[in-house]
Amino acid sequence: MDGTIPATEQMNSGAEAVLRALKAQGVDVIFGYPGGAVLPIYDAIFQQTEIRHILVRHEQAAVHAAEGYARSTGKVGCVLVTSGPGATNAVTGLVDALMDSIPLVCLTGQVPTHLIGNDAFQEADTTGITRQATKHNYLVKKSADLVRVVHEAFHVARTGRPGPVVIDLPKDILINPAPYHEPTAKVHRSYRPRTEPDTAKIKEAVALLKRAKHPVVYAGGGIVNAGPEASRLLTEFVRLTGMPCTNTLMGLGTFPASDPQFLGMLGMHGTYEANLTMHGADVMLNIGARFDDRVTGRLNAFAPSSKKIHIDIDPANINKSVAVDIPIVADACNALKALIEAWNADPTPQDKDALAQWWAQIDIWRAKQSLRYTQSRDPGSIIKPQYAIEQLYKATRGRETYVTTEVGQHQMWAAQYFKFEKPNRWMTSGGLGTMGYGLPAAMGVQVAHPDALVIDIAGEASILMNIQEMSTLAQYRLPVKVFILNNHYMGMVRQWQELLHGSRYSNSYSEALPDFVKLADSFHGVGLRAETVDDLDRVIAEMIATDKPVIADICVDEKENVFPMIPSGAAHNQMLLGPEHDDAGQPAVTSAGKALV
Amino acid sequence: MPDNHLRSATISVLVENEAGVLARVIGLFSGRGYNIDSLTVAPVERDGSKSRITVVTQGTDMVIEQIKAQLDRLVPVYKVLDLTEGPHLSRELALIKVIGIGEKRQEALRLADAFRARVIDATTESFTFELTGATDKLDAFLDLMRPLGLAEVSRTGVAAIARGAKTIG
- The answer to whether residue A171 is catalytic is yes
**A588 confidence band (pLDDT: 50, 70, 90):** low
Please report the pLDDT score of residue A519 as a whole number: 98
Taking only the tens place, the pLDDT of each residue in A239-266 is: 999 999 999 999 999 999 999 999 999 9
Active-site residue (options: A9, A121, A132, A186): A121
Cβ-Cβ contacts under 8 Å for B101 (sequence gap 6 or more): B124, B125
**B5 confidence band (pLDDT: 50, 70, 90):** very high
Distance in angstroms (rounded) separating the CA atoms of residues B166 and B78: 16
Phi, psi of A177 (to 5 degrees): -60, 150
Interface membership of B69 toward A (CB under 8 Å):
yes
Q: Pick from A71, A253, A371, A227: which is nearest to A262 by CA?
A: A253
Mean pLDDT along residues A541-569: 96
Count Cβ atoms within 10 A of the Cβ of residue A362 and give its class: 0-12 exposed, 13-18 middle, 19 or more buried: buried
Distance in angstroms (rounded) separating the CA atoms of residues A99 and B111: 55
Interface membership of B33 toward A (CB under 8 Å):
no
Q: Write the residue in A135, A315, A319 that is nearest to B62 by C-beta.
A: A319
Q: Pick from A135, A150, A235, A244: which is nearest to A191 by CA?
A: A135
Cβ of A315 within 8 Å of Cβ of B27? The answer is no
- Cβ contacts of B31 on chain A, cutoff 8 Å: 132
- Give the torsion through C-alpha atoms of A440, A446, A448, A451, to 10 deg: 180
Distance from CA of B72 to the nearest CA of A (A): 8
- Cβ contacts of A141 on chain B, cutoff 8 Å: 19
Q: Write the residue in A190, A316, A318 that is nearest to B78 by C-beta.
A: A190
Answer whether residue B36 shows pLDDT above 70: yes
Distance from CA of A139 to the nearest CA of B (A): 9
Distance from CA of A128 to the nearest CA of B (A): 8
- Cβ contacts of B21 on chain A, cutoff 8 Å: none
Distance from CA of B155 to the nearest CA of A (A): 28
Phi, psi of A138 (to 5 degrees): -135, 145
Distance in angstroms (rounded) separating the CA atoms of residues A362 and A443: 40
Kindly identify which residue of chain A lies nearest to residue B76, measuring between CA atoms.
Answer: A190
Interface of A with B in 113-172 (CB under 8 A): 127-128, 131-132, 135-137, 139, 141, 156, 160-161
Cβ of A189 within 8 Å of Cβ of B23? The answer is no
Taking only the tens place, the pLDDT of each residue in A282-292 is: 999 999 999 99
Interface membership of A192 toward B (CB under 8 Å):
no
Number of CB atoms found within 10 A of residue A330's CB: 25
Do A200 and A229 contact (CB within 8 A), yes or no? Answer: no
Answer whether residue A584 shows pLDDT above 90: no
Distance in angstroms (rounded) separating the CA atoms of residues A414 and A95: 23
- Give A576's DSSP letter: B
Do A225 and A288 contact (CB within 8 A), yes or no? Answer: yes
Distance in angstroms (rounded) separating the CA atoms of residues A322 and A100: 19
* A311 SS3 class: strand
Strands of the B77-82 sheet, one edge to the other:
B38-43, B50-59, B7-16, B77-82
Cβ of A315 within 8 Å of Cβ of B72? The answer is yes
- The answer to whether residue A142 is catalytic is no
Taking only the tens place, the pLDDT of each residue in A465-481 is: 999 999 999 999 999 99
- The answer to whether residue A59 is catalytic is yes
Answer whether residue A302 shows pLDDT above 90: yes
Active-site residue (options: A75, A135, A171, A308): A171
Answer whether residue A127 shows pLDDT above 50: yes
pLDDT top residue among A235 and A569 = A235
Count Cβ atoms within 10 A of the Cβ of residue B2 and give its class: 0-12 exposed, 13-18 middle, 19 or more buried: middle
Kindly identify which residue of chain A lies nearest to residue B29, measuring between CA atoms.
Answer: A132
Do A136 and A193 contact (CB within 8 A), yes or no? Answer: no
Q: Write the residue in A132, A318, A323 that is nearest to B27 by C-beta.
A: A132
Please report the pLDDT score of residue A580 as a whole number: 85
Please report the pLDDT score of residue A1 as a whole number: 46
- The answer to whether residue A11 is catalytic is no
Answer whether residue A138 shows pLDDT above 50: yes
Please report the pLDDT score of residue A7 as a whole number: 86
| CA B109 from centre of chain | 25
Kindly identify which residue of chain B lies nearest to residue A152, measuring between CA atoms.
Answer: B75
Mean pLDDT along residues A472-500: 97
Answer whether residue A3 shows pLDDT above 70: no
Mean pLDDT along residues B31-47: 95
- The answer to whether residue A420 is catalytic is no
- Cβ contacts of B16 on chain A, cutoff 8 Å: 189-190
Dump strand ranges (E) for chain B: 7-16, 38-43, 50-59, 77-82, 88-99, 118-122, 126-133, 150-155, 159-162
3-state helix, strand, coil in chain B (%, to 5): 30, 40, 30
Strand partners, A9: A180
Interface membership of A285 toward B (CB under 8 Å):
no
Amino acid at B51: S
Alpha helices in A169-292 (DSSP H): 171-175, 199-210, 221-225, 228-241, 272-280
Answer whether residue B131 shows pLDDT above 50: yes
Whole-number Cα distances in Å, A10 to A144, A147, A153? 10, 11, 21
% of chain A residues with pLDDT over 90: 93
Cβ of A190 within 8 Å of Cβ of B70? The answer is no
* A498 SS3 class: helix
Please report the pLDDT score of residue A185 as a whole number: 85
Kindly identify which residue of chain A lies nearest to residue B61, measuring between CA atoms.
Answer: A319
Active-site residue (options: A11, A25, A31, A59): A59
Distance in angstroms (rounded) separating the CA atoms of residues A35 and A560: 45
Interface membership of B45 toward A (CB under 8 Å):
no
pLDDT top residue among A62 and A582 = A62
